[in-house]
Amino acid sequence: MNCCKALALGILAALIFVGCGYSEEEMQAQKDRVVQVTKALDALEGKHKELQDRFKVLSSENSQMTERLRQMGMSVEDQKRSIEEMNKLVEELKAKERQAQARLQTFRNMLERFNKMIASGKLRVKIVRGRMVVELAENILFDSGKADLKPEGQQALTEVAAVLSSIPDRDFQIAGHTDNVPIKSARFPSNLHLSTARAVTVAMFLGDHGVPANRFSAAGYADTQPAASNDAPEGRAQNRRIEIVLMPNLDELPDLSQLKDLTN
């Protein structure tokens, strides 16, 4: 049994433990979310395996290339340059593989720490474009049209802060999202104002509860990034949310040094 399946069983066990207060439909929805995240982690493990396989292929090609160069009678300097280039590629691939493995382990650790909150329906965790996203629904954090945390929301964010503050060398973005129903009040002239205010409220709360201020940012997106269709009340409820996005480290981003000349 691999790590993701074992982790899924742990979450399902937590669901059974806390599930007495939920309907069968709610329990099944939580189980489905666990399955989705587990599948995403399995996909990341697949990419990890692909990197290992590519490393093995390059190592084999390196040996074959060395032998071919010897048979072709190339100069020692030419052979040396070719071997150095191949070794450089191998080292770069090994570095990428280590980064992928470290990122995967970070995802697993976070998912394990959030088990109970996932099972109780306080939040859900998903993988979006290779990033882990912790999602909290509006009705847990805020009253409709407001940006002041409810007691239930403060309790949930206290648990979230304990997890985030324990993860080293990672930055987070707190993103506020709304549905497409317009708001216009004295305090919030638009959904953009509301989503931004909510994101800032959550960010400030996390900062007051142990998450270093230099490790997070806040942004409001209004209704520009819906998670579901706004045509039905259920979809609009999903779109009213706060997302905490685990940001990539600089060494995980593409190398853009070759574009330096174009920016001068």
**Residue scoring higher pLDDT (67 or 192):** 192
Q: Where do the DSSP E strands lie in the chain?
A: 124-128, 131-137, 172-177, 216-220, 241-246
pLDDT in the model for residue 252:
53
- Between 18 and 63, whose confidence is greater? 63
Please, what is the average pLDDT of the chain? 81
- pLDDT band for 264, please (50, 70, 90 cuts): very low
Q: Is 0.75 surpassed by the pTM of this model?
A: no
Cβ atoms 119, 18 nearer than 8 A: yes
What one-character DSSP code corresponds to residue 10? H
Does residue 34 contact residue 118 with C-beta atoms inside 8 Å?
yes
pLDDT band at 226 (very low <50, low <70, confident <90, very high): very high
Q: Which residue has the higher pLDDT, 105 or 78?
A: 105
**Model confidence at 99: pLDDT above 60:** yes
Q: How is the chain split into domains, by residue range?
A: 1-112, 122-248
The Cα 155–Cα 160 span in angstroms is 9
For residue 163, is pLDDT > 80? yes
Residue 124's Cα: distance from chain center in Å?
12
Give the Cα separation of 181 and 158 in Å (integer). 30
Q: What is the pLDDT of residue 83?
A: 80
Q: Give mean pLDDT, residues 186-207.
A: 96
* Nearest Cα residue to 157 out of 115, 210, 216: 210
Return the DSSP state at 249.
P
* 159 or 69, greater pLDDT: 159
* pLDDT at residue 136 tops 90: yes
Residue 157 structure tokens: 């964010």
Q: Does 211 score more than 50 pLDDT? A: yes
CB 162 within 8 A of CB 210: yes
pLDDT over 60 (residue 9): no
The residue among 188, 189, 186 whose CA lies nearest residue 198 is: 188
Render pLDDT for 112-123 as a digit per residue (tens, 0 to 9): 888 888 888 888
241 phi, psi to nearest 5 deg: -155, 165
pLDDT at 129 over 70: yes
Please give the angle made by the CA atoms of 166, 114 and 151, to the nearest 5 degrees: 90
Q: Could you give phi then psi for residue 136, rounded to 5 degrees?
A: -120, 135
What helix, strand, coil percent values describe the chain, rounded to 5? Answer: 65, 10, 25
Domain 122-248 has CATH 1.10.1060.10: no
Instruction: Reply yes or no on whether the pLDDT at 253 is more than 50.
Output: no
